[in-house]
Amino acid sequence: MNATGWLFSDPSQLHLLERMTIAAKGRVRGTMQGKRRSRLLGSSLEFADYRPYAPGDDIRRLDWNVYGRTGKAFIRQFWDEQEMNVRLCIDCSQSMRFGYAPPDGGEGIIPSTNKLAYALRLAACVAYAALAGEDRVSVLAFADRIVSEFPPARGKGAVLRLFNYMEKFIEPTVLQGTDDIGLPFSAPGAYPRTPGQTWLFTDGLYAQGLERVLNGFAASGQHVVLIQILGPEELAPDLSGERKLIDTETGAAIEVAFGRDVMRAYQSALRDHTGMIRKLCAERGFDYALADTSVPVMDTAGRCLLGEGMRNN
C-alpha cells in the first residue's frame, strides 16, 4: 500500500480536505504570491483603505466617486495576498510509539490507537489542506533530537513526496529517551526562520521544556496549534491489582498497587498536566486541542481542528 493509501484509507477524505483551508490568526506575511491576505498592501481585489493622491500614482486607482463628491483625489489601496508558511512538528519519541510491535519477519502491525500513527494521519490532513490552498509546508520530526526534516514545499504536486516521507516514521527507530521536550529544539535551525503557523503534534508526556519551546516559537513569529494526542489507555486506564510500570522513554520501572485511590490520583494528575499545557498555550495566544486516538482521525480533523487551526471554505 502506498503512503496515500496508508494515511487515507478512503480517497474521498482528500476531496473533503480540499474544501478546507488553514485558518491564519491575523494577516499573513509570506514570501510568495498566494491566497492569504498579507500585512502589506498590494494588488489583490480586496479593498484595504484610501490615501491622498500623490504625483506619480496610477490614476486608474483614483476613486472618481469620491472625487466627484469632495473634489479631492484619493487612491484606492488593496491588500496583498501571499502564502502562509505551515510547519508540522511531529513527536516521534518512544512514548508516541507505544503499542507498535512488529512481528518477527513481518512489516509490523499498527494499532488503530497508536499515537504516532494518529499524529501522522492528522498531520497529513493539515498538510494536504495547506498544499491544496497554495500554502508552503515543511515537516520536522523530533524525539530526543531532530530526527529528520522535510524542506518547504508548495502545491499539490508535492503531496505524494511528502506522504512518502511521513510514512517512514512509523517504523521502529533507535532513539534515546528524554523527559525534556526542549532538548531537540535547542539544535540550530529547529525554529522556523520566517513567520507562520506551527502545528505541534505530541502526547505532551514530558516533565520539562514545553514552556521554553513555546517561547521559542513565539519569538520566531509563529502561531502554534498544539495537538496533544493521548490513547484511551492513558485517558481512562483499566488497571487493577499490582502492576509493574515501565517508562518507555527512560526505562525506569516502578511497582504500583492499583486501587480506587491510585486511579483517582492518576486522573487528577492527568487533568493537572493537560490543564498546564492548555494554560501555557492560552497565555501566548496559541491554540490547544486534546485528541483521543479512539476517535476516527477525520472526525478529529472535522470537529476539533476546524475549531482550532482550520476552517471550511
DSSP for 209-268 reads -HHHHHHHHHHTTEEEEEEEEE-HHHHS----EEEEEE-TTT--EEEEEE-HHHHHHHHH
Quick: pLDDT tens for 34-65: 444 444 444 444 555 667 877 877 777 777 88
Q: Which of 18-32, 68-82, 290-304 has the lowest mean pLDDT?
A: 18-32
Separation in Å, CA 48 to CA 28, 77, 211, 265, 313 = 15, 5, 37, 55, 21
The amino acid that residue 196 corresponds to is G
Which range among 64-73, 107-116, 207-216 shows the weakest confidence by mean pLDDT? Answer: 107-116
Least Cα distance to 77 among 54, 46, 101, 55 occurs for 46
Q: Yes or no: say if 141 and 147 are a contact pair by the CB < 8 Å rule.
A: yes
Distance of CA 113 to the CA centre of its chain: 19
Three-state DSSP state, 299:
helix
C-alpha cell at 242: 499490582
Most confident of 71-75, 126-130, 301-305: 126-130
The predicted structure's pLDDT at residue 156: 87
Average pLDDT in the chain: 80
* All cell numbers assigned to 86: 505551515
CA–CA gap between residue 66 and residue 73 (Å, rounded): 7
pLDDT of residue 17: 84
Domains of the chain: 3-29+83-312 (3.40.50.410), 39-81 (no CATH)
Nearest-angstrom CA–CA distance, 131 and 300: 20
Beta bridge partners, 36, equal 82
Q: Is the pLDDT of residue 189 over 60?
A: yes
Strands 310-312 and 20-22, bridge-based pairing: antiparallel
pLDDT digits 0-9 by tens, 254-287: 777 778 888 899 899 999 999 999 999 999 999 9
d(CA 213, CA 218): 9
pLDDT of 225 > 80? The answer is yes
Reported as a pLDDT band with limits 50, 70 and 90, residue 289 is very high
Lowest mean pLDDT among 146-150, 208-212, 305-309: 305-309
Q: How long a stretch of residues is the chain?
A: 313
Question: What's the number of CA atoms in the CB half-sphere (13 Å) around residue 197?
Answer: 27
If one compares 29 and 63, the residue with the highest pLDDT of the two is 63
Q: What is the pLDDT of residue 213?
A: 97
Tell whether the torsion through CA atoms of 313, 225, 110 and 137 is positive or negative. Answer: positive
Q: What is the dihedral of CA 221, 131, 45, 309, to 10 degrees?
A: -50
